Structure 1
Amino acid sequence: MWGKAEIVFEPGRLGRLYQQAPLRVLFPDPPDGEPIQAALVTTSGGLAGGDRLELSARAAAGAVGMVVASAAEKIYRSTGPDTKVDIGLTVEKGAWLEVLPQETIVFEGARLRRSTRLDLAADARAMVGEMLVFGRTAKGESLSQGLVHDAWEIRRDGRLIWADALHLDGDIAAKLKAPGGFGGALACATLVLATPRPMILRDGVREMLDGRAGATVVGDLLIVRWLDEDAARLRKSFGTVWAMLRHEAAGLPRRLPRIWEI
């Protein structure tokens, strides 16, 4: 399967939408004070080896938009081919783009390659995140074999300002257990906020975090990361921090979309 979605937000309205199954985009009525919300749905119920998803989202000059996952994404066992997810985000002059994920659950034997590219104009702002769960932890399963390659690139005015990649293969179980690796964590998450004066927000985030989580600043990026043995606890902390930051950085209500809370 090869699913695609292209979304363009313009000031006060949706400028363009293209979608190709199994990736679909819904537009729930947002509460007062909220921007247009594009909710992503994978109609196949999950992705297997050889499947591919491509998401392109752009906030045109002066636009405010939000892309939110409607449910956790499941990456099923592969017989060999990789499952590929490519995310390309563009935020133009004076715009704000929010891309709120739900968990990506990597099943035993799955092979996931995901890339996220964010291109920002000089004064553009954005908040983007990801959450990974290693195995069907709700069923007592964990990931021991397979592939997880999750890469980020962020550019400001065409200049690379941050790049990062997580790569797990071979004996993944040992790496998840290793004190110098994940130290027993079965879930991780990353939140990246591009905003002026991120140092002020960093201190507020640090006060909200406990356990194995931290926040740092790289240039005008605030980067928050979590490791946890409990995926539900990680999700709760991630959502709480996200709601606070969208309010402080973009003046939006301190809440999450209803579809995310279900």
Structure 2
Amino acid sequence: MTVTGVGVRARARIVARADGRGGTALPVLDGEGPLAPRRTRATGSWAKVVLVGAMSGPLGGDRFTLDARVKEGARLHVGSAAATLALPGQTKGEARYDVRLDVADGAELRWLPEQLISADGSDLYVTTRAELGAGARLVLREEQVLGRTGEQPGRLTSRLTVRVAGRTVLDQELSCGPGAPGGWDGPAVLAGHRAVGQLVVVRPEFAAAPPPARMLGEYAALVPLAGPAALVSAVAPDALSLRRTLDDVLTGLD
């Protein structure tokens, strides 16, 4: 970890590989400062890692980077111990949180962190980029909550990119809060809701038999992507309602 006059620089790395006995080993599990990955008990062939927030953040000016690599034959589940809270810092600069996921052919990753909360006065740019082999499997959940109870949100921009076998199947960006392009809170985007989320599911069998596009209630939809993947997008009045919607969809797909 590096502390500078404009914020904290911190990095975490996770590498999962098959252990040769039907399970998954974690030869690299390393974090610094606010990024603290911890192995927890798992069942079967899975390895499970929980990200623990060892410090407040991200604050204004911070730069966090998290890399996770899942090698052929490995199965990794990554969650977090609590929601991530973006806060204003002593500096007024933008904070960044960059997540890079690499899932090899024949590997599987479940990336299911808790919500990201954008507090009043914060300014955070989040990027999540997933590179998958042709036979890789992925479940990726992304949830954002705009403001704590009774407060206005900060500025939050989130970009999500998923590539399978070198081909981009999803590349989208959403910016909300003060200074974001006009209309982010209008009927075509959030429609006054304060929780927004995506669920990306990549499975090789979706290439031949993708799930059909359909509405999931009034404020959520499932659409197949141009590849072995499907996207669920949802908005909700609060984090609990959003999680219920995404969990119900994932249970149905499983």
TM-score bucket of the superposed structures, by smaller chain: 0.7 to 0.9
Per-residue deviation, 1:197: 3.5
Aligned to 1:216: 223
| Structure-1-length-normalised TM-score | 0.83
Tell me what 2:4 maps to. Answer: none
Of residues 97, 107, 116, the one that matches 1:104 is 116
Q: Does 1:202 align with 2:223?
A: no
Q: 1:226 aligns with which of 234, 239, 242?
A: 234
Letter in 2 for 1:115: T
Match of 1:10 among 17, 27, 30: 17
Q: Give the structure 1 partner of residue 81 of structure 2.
A: 70
Q: Name the amino acid aligned to 1:190.
A: Q
Aligned length: 239
RMSD of aligned Cα (Å): 2.3
Normalised by the length of structure 2, the TM-score is: 0.85
Aligned residues with identical type, % of pairs: 29
CA contact (8 A) 2:36 2:51 kept: yes
Does the 8 Å contact 1:2/1:22 carry over to 2? Answer: no
Confirm or deny: 8 A CA contact 1:6 1:17 kept in the other structure. yes
**2:66 matched to 1:55?**
yes
Q: Given that residues 142 and 186 in structure 1 are in contact (C-alpha distance below 8 angstroms), is that contact kept between their aligned partners in structure 2?
A: no
Q: 1:168 to 1:21 in 2, by over 3 A?
A: same
Structure 1 residues not aligned, in runs of 5+: 249-262
Structure 1 pair 185/173, CA: closer, same or farther in 2 (3 Å)?
Answer: farther
Write the distance in 2 (CA, Å) between the matches of 1:134 and 1:111: 12
Which structure 2 segments of 5+ residues have no match? 1-7
Alignment partner, residue 90 of structure 1 = 102
Alpha-carbon distance in 1 for matches of 2:92, 2:180: 16
Distance apart, 1:129 and its partner CA: 1.6
Counterpart AA for 1:116: T
Q: Which has the higher helix share?
A: 1
- After superposition, the Cα gap between the structure-2 partners of 1:157 and 1:175, relative to the gap in structure 1 and judged at 3 Å, is same
Aligned-partner SS, 1:184: coil
Q: What does residue 140 of structure 1 align with? A: 150
